[in-house]
Amino acid sequence: GLPYSMKEAGFPLGVLLLFGVAYITDYSIILLIKGGNLSSTNTYQELVRKTYGLVGYLILSTLQFLYPFIAMISYNIITGDTLTKVFQRIPGVGPDNVLTDRHFIILLTTVIFTLPISLYRDIAKLGKVSLISLILTIVILIIVMVRTVTFSPQVPKSENAWIFAKSNAVQAVGVMSFAFICNHNSFLIYGSLEEPTLKNWSRVTHVSVSLAVFISLVFAACGYMTFTGYTEGDIFENYCRDDNLATFGRFCYGVTVILTFPLECFVTREVIANVFFHGNLSTVFHIVVTVVIIAVATGVSLVYDCLGIVLELN
């Protein structure tokens, strides 16, 4: 969605907004952990309880649960929509094949990948999964860069493509925020560091956000330069269905989304554990809560297939 955000805001303003969102993210994540250290708390919820009392705690817990939960639903919808288009390119796979059924794909990826990975108790175990996701993101970036060189000359340029600012800048910030927001799982990741100190956390945060803004900026710029005013909300919708390189990009994107799903599940489970189980889940309850969360999220994503509504709600 980042190239689309450039179309909505105007490219020069979009670049400035992207850096602004990145800076606020970097600053606020470090601020959260500083607040946790000052108040001797080790979860976002407990920090808010100490600061704003029970009402603030309940409001934050609700939001902290809903954000990743809705993200899980959106990830399932993306997986179903993306991978079915990939499998349609396999010779012999027709419209009636089970691999082109989004419901089947969502259920299959949930049972084989997202549920087993989400059952881990320690978020540090997701380190290798996240590394694979990062590598695939870079592969997707390279594909978009290649298509900028090879495909953009064939796309007619739209009027006012490089105007400084456009009227939909607020919606553009919404897209950028969705890409960058990670405050809800900051304490979990901070706790997974070998040496959880503020100095180490600040270093990790600066490197992570800097890498994220670099990838995001190059991706947004290349995607927008290719299609300008014709840029779709999902950049892969712009490429031809018979474009094999773009199809490989769609596959990498689908896998990336699958591998990101468990990180959000960890947060929703932690919120439930903190609110209802005093922060500790027995092995049985750990499994039951995880299965229920994923089952409900999967159920909703099977019924609703409109990604736009889900992302706007978040």
What pLDDT sits at residue 312? Answer: 64
Is the pLDDT assigned to residue 238 strictly greater than 70?
A: yes
Average pLDDT, the chain: 90
What pLDDT sits at residue 305? Answer: 72
The runs of H, that is alpha helices, within 181-243 are 186-192, 198-227
Whether 258 contacts 74, CB under 8 Å? no
Q: Tell me the pTM.
A: 0.83
Burial of 15 (0-12, 13-18, 19+ CB in 10 A): middle
Distance of alpha carbon 10 from alpha carbon 271, whole angstroms: 38
Is the pLDDT assigned to residue 129 strictly greater than 70?
A: yes
Whether 50 contacts 233, CB under 8 Å? no
Is the pLDDT assigned to residue 237 strictly greater than 90?
A: no
How many domains is the chain partitioned into structurally? 1
Task: Quick: pLDDT tens for 130-169.
Answer: 899 999 999 999 999 999 999 888 888 888 888 898 888 8
For 121-132, letters b (16+ CB in 10 Å) and e give eebeebeebeee
Mean pLDDT of 92-115: 89
Is the pLDDT assigned to residue 243 strictly greater than 70?
A: yes
**Domain of 156?**
1-313
Please name which of 143, 102, 101 lies closest in space to residue 238, comparing C-alpha atoms: 143
Q: Which residue has the higher pLDDT, 249 or 92?
A: 249
Which amino acid makes up residue 250?
A: R
Task: Quick: pLDDT tens for 247-289.
Answer: 999 999 999 999 999 989 999 999 999 889 888 889 999 999 9
CATH at residue 253: 1.20.1740.10
